[in-house]
Structure 1
Amino acid sequence: MATPRGVRNNNPGNIDFNPRNAWQGQLGLEVGVAKPRFARFDEPENGIRALGKLLINYRCKDGMPGVGGKGIDTVLETISRWAPSSENDTQAYAEAVAKRLGVRPTDPISIQDPTTLRGLVVGIIVHENGGNPYPDQVIDEGVRRALA
């Protein structure tokens, strides 16, 4: 079985490449694919760090009317921003991640809580790559860097 694109790129969240984002450890646009789109990182910990940083930054963005509190503070709002419905079954994605966290998709969550952030990160990694190939210490280090 082929290694998933996000794992090959050390970018398990499949973050789009944007030259304006000078992510720690970012190597540039992915290589070896017909339509390059995603960023490449030097190591998975930095790809996970970028994933975590983006999720934390979403908190300050406008959320969905009638869902959660002010800003993006639910799994549904987070995943809707992360994986727009134009490309994904956002509802199913949010439900899978929320289940992993033990909350409903519309329950407010605290993204600054390391356990919550870790759960969201792992849920996204699993969804984007069909599983989580990383040992706990790699995930933990990426989340630690995101919160630093």
Structure 2
Amino acid sequence: MEQPNLNVRNNNPLNIRENGTDWEGKVGHSGGFVKFTSPEYGFRAAYRTLMTYRNHHGLDTIEGIVSRWAPDNENHTEGYINYIREKMNLQPTITNFWSDTVPLERYAELMLHMANMEGAKGAFTIEQARRGIVLA
């Protein structure tokens, strides 16, 4: 039987790296990534990080968010961006580059698609992402 990906085993849907942050629900780390008690706490940490991107760095578009989350030196960032845009049906246009801005009410969906891109392959649910947001 195939072992689940690290983000699933760690209850860390978006693969938040261990950096010493004392996250609520954190129970250690594995493979350089934080381990959480439940997926909801992993989504909580991801949401808090994404809100920092939004509120302190002005990153609220798919391109801005993913470029910071999954930089080119570690990922195929352009492919990641295109995957999220396609899944969320948010595309910039020639006349409105900011049309891929992620509305706050769609962050649970954004995180779920990012978790799948990080390797979850459907292991997490939109309800878990929403509960993570509530915990934040």
The structure whose RCO (Cα within 8 Å, separation 6+) is larger is 2
Structure 2 counterpart SS, 1:60: helix
Partner of 1:17: 18
**Could you tell me which residue of structure 2 aligns to residue 29 of structure 1?**
29
Confirm or deny: 8 A CA contact 2:85 2:91 kept in the other structure: yes
Q: Identify if the C-alpha distance between structure 1 residues 5 and 75 changes in structure 2 by more than 3 Å, giving closer, same or farther.
A: same
- Helix, strand or coil at the partner of 2:60: coil
TM-score, L = length of structure 2: 0.86
Q: Deviations over 1:29-55 (max 9, x none)?
A: 22xxxxx31001011100011111111
Distance (whole Å) between structure 2 residues aligned to residue 143 and residue 129 of structure 1: 21
Contact 1:6/1:129, CA 8 A, preserved across alignment: yes
C-alpha separation in 1, matches of 2:125 and 2:70 = 25
Tell me, in whole angstroms, the C-alpha distance in 2 between the residues paired with 1:104 and 1:140.
24
Cα distance change, pair 134–110 in 1 and its aligned pair in 2 (3 A): closer
Q: What runs of 5+ residues in structure 1 fail to find an aligned partner?
A: 31-35, 63-70
Show structure 2 runs of 5+ residues with no match. none
State how far apart, in whole Å, the 2-side matches of 1:136 and 1:90 are: 23
Q: TM-score by structure 1 length?
A: 0.80
Per the alignment, residue 120 of structure 1 pairs with 110
Q: Which residue of 2 aligns with 1:76?
A: 63
Q: What is the distance in 2 between the residues matched to 1:117 and 1:136?
A: 10
Q: Which residue of 1 aligns with 2:84?
A: 97
Residue 134 of structure 1: CA displacement?
A: 2.1
Tell me which residue corresponds to 1:4.
5
Matches of 1:42 and 1:28, distance apart in 2: 9
Identity of aligned residues (%): 30
Q: In structure 1, what residue type is equivalent to 2:82? A: E
Is contact 1:100–1:119 with CA below 8 Å preserved after alignment? no
**Aligned to 1:49, which of 25, 28, 44?**
44
- What is the number of equivalent residue pairs in this alignment? 130
Letter in 2 for 1:15: I
Q: Return the offset for 1:132.
A: 2.0
Q: Which residue number in structure 2 is paired with residue 66 of structure 1?
A: none
Distance 2:78 2:54 in 1: 19
